Amino acid sequence: MPRKVILHVVGEDPIVAEMDEDPQPSDLFIRVTNPRKRDGKDVPSVTPGVQFVIYPWHRITFLELMPSEEERGSVIDFFRT
């Protein structure tokens, strides 16, 4: 089952996408599908209709792995009062 991620690429706005499996320490790149901006619009650097994109690790600042619906029940969200 694909996992939703937020990809922070050097010099670009964050990209929301899906990954089939979590990245491993030995990986040189990551492969994501359905890349889009946070607001759902197309990513300007990606041609419309592309099935997946491969990003090399040296271009990634950090990667946020969002919890799935099953994991959501065990995640404690932080909030301010």
| Beta bridge mates, 74 | none
Q: Which residues of the chain have pLDDT under 70?
A: 69-81
* CA–CA distance, 11 with 8 (Å, rounded to integer): 9
Closest CA relative to residue 57, chosen from 20, 32, 21: 32
Range of the domain at 43: 3-72
**What CATH number does the domain containing 63 carry?**
2.30.30.100
Within a domain: residue 35?
Answer: yes
Within a domain: residue 54?
Answer: yes
Could you give the number of structural domains in the chain?
A: 1
pLDDT tens digits, residue range 37-57?
A: 999 899 998 998 888 999 999
Residue 79 has a pLDDT of: 61
Within a domain: residue 78?
Answer: no
Global confidence as pTM: 0.78
Within a domain: residue 81?
Answer: no
Residue length, the chain? 81
User: Cα angle at 67 between 36 and 28, to 5 degrees?
Assistant: 65
SS3 assignment, position 69 = helix
Residue 67 has a pLDDT of: 79
